[in-house]
Structure 1
Amino acid sequence: MELALAAAVLGALGYAAGSILQAVGVRGGSGAAALTRSPLYLTGLGVDGLAWLLSLVALRRLPTFAVQSLLAGSLALTVVLARVFLGSRLRRRDTAAVLALVAALGVVGGAGTEQPSPTVGPGGQVALCVAAGLLLLAVLVLRRSGSATFAVLAGLGYSVAALGARALTLPGAWSQAWRVAGEPLAWALAVAGVAGTLAYAAALEKGPVGPATALLWSVEVVVPAVAGFGLLGDVVRPGWWAPTAVALVVVVGCSVVLAGSPAVPEET
């Protein structure tokens, strides 16, 4: 459990660091072509990718609600790092939200016991595959929709990707890794991840980063938690149901507050 918990925490730190690096990288640049020549911006994208891989490691051993909540803590880290490295303004409610979020994540971390990846039946696999396909189709069809719609679609896409990663059966030996390509859940994970990435990019293009990020993380915390309990059999430590429910609400609320902070870097 210690390894999975460390991976989730490092993943949150990676997302926060990636946001700061990208924010610094876009300063003084103009247009996508300039960004492709910015070492800091490209490093930030690479750190984001590493953070995503760390989240997959965490999902192998921890319940979905715990991992997604810990990853949402990246917003608190982003705000703190932006204050230190970018000199961003920190509101009083931001400070309160950071402290409340840290406390809530402590509860979530304590409630999530180590749980091996579940075995999902054919019905569950079909449901995740269909959901991934429909989400990608929605992103491609709903081109004229607003930022909020795309932010929700992004949250749903990343949620399905997280559920697929949690339920994916991996071969016991590296020599058999090629077998993953034949797993339906691997394709669901990939398609849902693409849908989430495209949708979030569209959300940022059509509206401000704060509301889009708030919606994204709200969906990413709530949907995987509910689906994890119902579809994957995730469990909470005995006697921790009520504190966990309250903590999840606090995580979502603090994410909404922090997403609107002036310390959250604008993305391009």
Structure 2
Amino acid sequence: MLVLSLCGALAAAVCFGLSSVLQAVGMRGAGPVSELEPKSMVRAWLTLPFLAGVGLDLLGFGFELVALRHLPLFLVQAAIASALAVTAIAAAVVMKERLGRGEKCAVAAVCVGLALLGVSAGPEGANRAHTDFYTALAACLIGLAVLGAGAGRLPGRWRTVTLGLCAGLCFGVLALAARTLPELDPVRMVREPATYLVAASSLIALVLWTMALSGGSVTTATAAMVIGETVLPAVVGVVVLGDEARQGWVPVAVGGFLLAVGGALALARFGELGNAPSGTAPRAAPAAGRASAETAP
């Protein structure tokens, strides 16, 4: 089951990475697109490549759910962040985006980091969490929403960084909630607080992510988002949910995590793909948010 779940995490990253490129192709193929012209945005969203990208987002979210049920969060979140490496490679092939030496090294770092995480990860901890855990997640989500609303008034770079970080942390809340779903039975899921936290966090994250992109650098927003969605969920998974590395493999797991996330941060500029040339939101955000409120990937 661990091998199958690891394949699910990698499949999710591939889906998200390819989705970004397909959506970028759809946006560019639709001609000039402006946020101020809803018709032009709808025209772009209805292109075949963009719709195919949305389909990949939904498929990727399904793979992510499978992975979250059987793998430590530090491995799954690092794998999801590695979607930027998939985007970089696909963009080089499909869109003729040039990869510099540093970016090629970053792709290699992501691959090596994920390999190290894969061999060092131990069993995941408990699934169903205590009610206090869900209460804490809900309080954090409300706090992030309030902080994000206030950050919208900040000037320049601080606005972009804060909103990107808040969006990433919301996606982290989503991952934590999804990880504690006891089973993927629709009848039972409607009775689980985690289900509603997944829905609420995805919506709030998408709103904050769109705000971050509306007036700042996509690369900056993407880097902040990657940090928010990986670091804190990984720590909570270890401290609260009982995630752990195999005995004696902790240094390897830490090194793999740093390599994978560091490589993703170095590739943050490929979050720009879905934004060119329109100014609409690019991929960069992990799928769960897009899958739940998908109009801006």
Q: Same fold by TM (over 0.5)? A: yes
Which residue identity lines up with residue 10 of structure 1 in the other structure?
A
Give the counterpart of 1:68 among 77, 91, 99: 77
SS at match of 1:207: coil
1:215 counterpart residue number: 224
Q: Verify the 8 A CA contact 1:12 1:72 in the aligned structure 2.
A: yes
Q: Which deviates the most, 223-232 or 129-138?
A: 129-138
Q: How does 1:3-82 map to 2 (within 5 A)?
A: 3-27=4-28, 28-31=31-34, 32-82=41-91
**2:291 alignment partner in structure 1:** none
Q: Which residue of 2 aligns with 1:167?
A: 180
Deviation at residue 56 of structure 1 after TM alignment: 1.1
Structure 1, unpaired ranges of 5+: none
Q: In structure 2, what is the Cα distance between the partners aligned to 1:101 and 1:37?
A: 33
CA contact (8 A) 1:4 1:61 kept: yes
Instruction: Report the counterpart of residue 290 of structure 2 in structure 1.
Output: none
Q: AA paired with 1:12? A: A
Q: Decide whether the 8 Å contact of 1:60 with 1:116 is kept in 2.
A: no
Query: What is the Cα deviation at residue 29 of structure 1?
Result: 3.9
Q: Does 1:194 align with 2:197?
A: no
Give deviations 1:130-177, integer Å, cap 9, x for gaps. Answer: 222332343345432411111001110000000000112227xx4xx3
Identity of counterpart residues, as a percentage? Answer: 32
Structure 2 counterpart of 1:254, from 263, 267, 270: 263
How far apart are 1:36 and its partner, in Å? 2.8
State the partner residue of 2:170.
157
Structure 1 pair 136–169 and aligned structure 2 pair: CA distance change class (3 A): farther
Answer yes or no: is 1:118 the counterpart of 2:127: yes
Cα distance in 1 between the residues matched to 2:250 and 2:166: 28
**One-letter amino acid of the counterpart of residue 256, structure 2:** A
String of CA shifts for 1:65-86, please: whole Å, max 9, x gaps: 1101111111111111100011
What value does the CA root-mean-square deviation take over the aligned residues? 1.8
Structure 2 residue runs of 5 or longer lacking an equivalent are: 35-40, 281-297
Secondary structure at the aligned position of 1:56 is classed as helix
Note closer, same or farther for the CA distance 1:52–1:137 as it changes in structure 2 (3 Å cut): farther
TM-score w.r.t. length of structure 2: 0.83
Alignment partner, residue 38 of structure 2: none
What are the superposed Cα offsets for residues 159-199 of structure 1, whole Å, 9 maximum, x if unpaired? Answer: 0000000112227xx4xx32322211211121111111111
Question: Equivalent of 2:152, from 134, 143, 154?
Answer: 143
Q: In the comparison of the two structures, how many residue pairs are matched? A: 263
* CA shift for structure 1 position 249: 1.8
- Corresponding position: 1:107 with 2:121: no
Please say if residues 156 and 219 of structure 1, whose CA atoms lie closer than 8 Å, have aligned partners that are also in contact.
yes
Letter of the 2:33 partner, please give it: S
Give me the TM-score of the superposition, normalised by structure 1: 0.91
1:238 maps to amino acid: Q
Q: Quote the residue 2:239 is aligned against.
A: 230
Deviates more, 1:70-79 or 1:38-47: 38-47
Deviations 1:187-216 (A, max 9, x none): 112111111111111111121221211111
* Partner secondary structure for residue 138 of structure 1: helix
1:214 alignment partner AA: A
Deviation at 1:258, TM superposition (A): 0.8
Measured after TM superposition, the shift of residue 116 of structure 1 is 6.2
Cα offset, 1:264, TM superposition:
5.2
Contact 1:117 1:166 in 2 (8 A): no
**In 2, Cα distance between the equivalents of 1:150 and 1:219?**
10
Change (3 A) 1:20 1:141: same
1:87 to 63, 84, 96: 96
* One-letter identity of the residue aligned with 1:245: V
Amino acid at match of 2:273: P
SS of residue paired to 2:245 = coil
Contact 1:61 1:117 in 2 (8 A): no
Q: Is the 8 A contact 1:155 1:215 kept in 2?
A: yes
Contact 1:79 1:264 in 2 (8 A): no
